[in-house]
């Protein structure tokens, strides 16, 4: 049985074409796997990572998790020092490798999580312009009503079919459990939305935020969004928000002795899809 490694990392997504490997494009997965091959002194084609949640182009991550199975005959050496070797091989500050460890039995980066947490930042004119926010905050031309956005967030939560918020993918389910969707202003007046679910289908978070913005500016009512959600059909009634305001904050996993069971339950509930 091969050794499975857990890799914890973060990245600024501004200059990447998303997580997933794409020919001729700079991606997080591609850059990480190339660095792993260098650090492990093996062929690049032998390295494949599996991620907790594939992020789109321009989306950031403070804490992402992936795993890889060591190829036959490849020895990691000092695992505690592997993260430092991979970081050096990356030759970029856009990716930060936090930790590499031997994964517990039953660990699957994609199917074992209990939940994923994202945050979306919006500057709607309640704070002074800050050039340091540019790559990580969406600037809205409209002043937004966070109370209305929070009413929508609380009423959206639960187990539902999120087809109205997801890009369709053949054979993949759009049923998810949204456990938290809440807005608050930080000390600078930036509107920060926190979105937590067991998993997310493609573009779901940015579409949820788009619906909240439509409500916050008075373009749609809360009941209208709920009606569209219940139809579970892709809609153009709101805009999918730009990627740069979105950050993956954390991935939550169960205790080690529950990892395999959680992965099995997740596979049974939904077909593989992009998170």
The whole-number pLDDT of residue 115 equals: 97
Q: What is the Cα–Cα distance from 71 to 199, expressed in whole angstroms?
A: 29
Q: Which of 262, 270, 273 is nearest to 107 (CA)?
A: 262
Give residue 275's pLDDT band: very low, low, confident or very high (50, 70, 90): very low
**∠ CA 6-118-162, rounded to 5°:** 105
Assess whether pLDDT exceeds 90 at residue 53.
yes
- Cα separation, 265 vs 268, in Å, equals 5
pLDDT for res 169? 77
C-alpha to C-alpha distance for 33 and 47, rounded to whole angstroms: 6
CB 7 within 8 A of CB 49: yes
Is the pLDDT at 171 greater than 80? The verdict is no
Alpha-helix runs per DSSP H in the chain:
28-40, 79-90, 146-156, 204-216, 222-231, 259-269
Query: 127: pLDDT confidence band, cut at 50, 70 and 90?
Result: confident
pLDDT digits (tens, 9 = 90+) for 197-240: 999 999 999 999 999 999 999 999 999 999 999 999 999 999 99
Q: Is 56 a catalytic residue?
A: yes
Per-residue model confidence as pLDDT tens digits over 17-49: 999 999 999 999 999 999 999 999 999 999 999
* Average pLDDT over all residues of the chain: 94
Q: Which pLDDT belongs to residue 274?
A: 38
Pairwise CA distance, residues 17 & 29, whole Å:
10
| pLDDT band with cut points at 50, 70 and 90 for residue 270 | low
Instruction: Provide, rounded to the nearest whole percent, the portion of the chain with pLDDT above 70.
Output: 97
Q: Residues of CATH 3.30.70.580 domain(s) within the chain? A: 4-102
Of 8, 56, 124, 275, which is the active-site residue?
A: 56
The fold adopted by the segment(s) 115-258 is Alpha-Beta Plaits (3.30.70)
Ranges for all domains in the chain classified under CATH 3.30.70.660: 115-258
Please identify, in words, the CATH class of the domain defined by 4-102: alpha beta
Rg (CA), the chain: 19
pTM > 0.85: yes or no: yes
């Amino acid at each position: 049985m091969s050794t499975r490694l857990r890799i914890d990392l973060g990245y600024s997504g501004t200059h990447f074409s998303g997580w997933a490997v794409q020919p001729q494009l700079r991606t997080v997965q591609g850059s990480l796997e190339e660095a792993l091959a260098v650090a492990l002194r093996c062929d690049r084609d032998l390295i494949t990572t599996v991620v907790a949640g594939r992020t789109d182009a321009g989306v950031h991550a403070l804490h992402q998790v992936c795993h890889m199975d060591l190829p036959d005959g490849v020895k990691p050496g000092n695992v505690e020092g592997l993260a430092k070797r991979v970081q050096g091989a990356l030759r970029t500050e856009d990716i930060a490798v936090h930790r590499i460890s031997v994964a517990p039995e039953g660990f699957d980066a994609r199917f074992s999580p209990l939940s994923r947490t994202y945050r979306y930042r919006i500057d709607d004119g309640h704070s002074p312009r800050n050039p340091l926010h540019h790559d990580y905050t969406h600037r809205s031309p409209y002043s937004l009503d966070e109370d209305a956005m929070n009413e929508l967030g609380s009423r959206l939560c639960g187990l539902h079919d999120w087809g109205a918020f997801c890009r369709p993918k053949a054979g993949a389910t759009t049923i998810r459990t949204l456990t938290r969707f809440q807005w608050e202003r930080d000390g600078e007046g930036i509107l920060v939305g926190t979105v937590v679910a067991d998993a997310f289908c493609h573009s779901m978070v940015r579409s949820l935020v788009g619906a909240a913005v439509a409500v916050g500016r008075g373009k749609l009512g809360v009941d209208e969004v709920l009606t569209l959600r219940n139809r579970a059909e892709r809609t153009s009634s709101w805009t999918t928000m730009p990627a740069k305001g979105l950050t993956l904050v954390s991935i939550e996993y169960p205790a080690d002795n529950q990892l395999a069971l959680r992965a099995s339950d997740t596979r049974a509930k939904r077909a593989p899809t992009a998170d």
